[in-house]
Amino acid sequence: MFSKDNLSYEAIPLPDRAEMEDQDMILAARAFYDAVKTRHTVRDYSDRPVPKEVIEDCIRAAGTAPSGANHQPWHFVAIQNPAMKAQIRAAAEEEEQRFYDGGASDEWIKALEPIGTGPDKPHLEIAPWLIVVFAQRYGLFEDGTRYKNYYVPESTGIACGLLLTALHSAGLVTLTHTPNPMRFLNGLLGRPESEKPLMIIAVGHPAQNATVPKVAKYKKPLQEILSLF
């Protein structure tokens, strides 16, 4: 964390050391892959409630992410309130309609066709929780003076990855929506000007008739995403 005080470096023994044999590491890595490959982006939600404690612990896990200078430049707002979710949906659909009506290039629209997306976002109301992720561009001391945060997009992106993985491990499905610009979220959710809304994550259980785009099951093979030297 960052402080106006002079903080000195202090080394402590590595906590939570994991000692595994090579074969155990191989098995653990494959087990994690087998688990995480069952994660899907889902647009069809049940209205089945999700306990607040699940959301809290998943966000607590996201907060363990590495960050530039350990400034942890993120804030998560979890929303269960139906009226607030309705406001967010209305604003998101207004922005999306502009996107599909000419705000996006023909190439971009064509790229989205096999995904089956459109301007309607009912999941933003039906999903029992929305998590809005804010990236803190700079921090504020109690007297209002600023301090700089470092590697904000990278740090917040890593935290979002951990959050999605934690939610999946809890048996939930998610959908990421990247607001642009949707600055009204700062006012609606009481967040300061120093923070930028980075992502809205719909969280819940899939509907009984939930589907996913067939193309979403295609993932690049390892030889296309890995170079070994």
Q: Can you give the CATH number for the domain in which 60 is found?
A: 3.40.109.10
Query: Domain for residue 171, yes or no?
Result: yes
Query: Domain for residue 219, yes or no?
Result: no
Find how far residue 11's CA is from the centre of its chain: 32
- Indicate the pLDDT class of residue 7, thresholds 50, 70 and 90: confident
**pLDDT confidence of residue 180:** 79
Query: Domain for residue 136, yes or no?
Result: yes
Query: Domain for residue 26, yes or no?
Result: no
Query: Domain for residue 192, yes or no?
Result: yes
Dist. CA 76–CA 132, nearest whole Å: 6
Query: Domain for residue 215, yes or no?
Result: no
Contacts for 51 with CB less than 8 Å, ≥ 6 apart: none
pLDDT digits (tens, 9 = 90+) for 175-229: 999 977 788 999 999 999 999 999 999 999 999 999 999 999 999 999 999 999 9
Q: How far, CA to CA in Å, does 106 sit from each of 16, 92, 99, 216?
A: 51, 21, 11, 21
Structure tokens at 24: 């155990």
Calculate mean pLDDT across residues 70-97: 96
Query: Domain for residue 172, yes or no?
Result: yes
pLDDT digits (tens, 9 = 90+) for 127-147: 999 999 999 999 988 888 899
pLDDT above 90 for 8:
no
Which parts of 21-145 are beta strand (E)? 74-79, 129-136, 138-140
Domain residues for the domain of 168 are: 38-210
Domain count along the chain = 1
Query: Domain for residue 13, yes or no?
Result: no
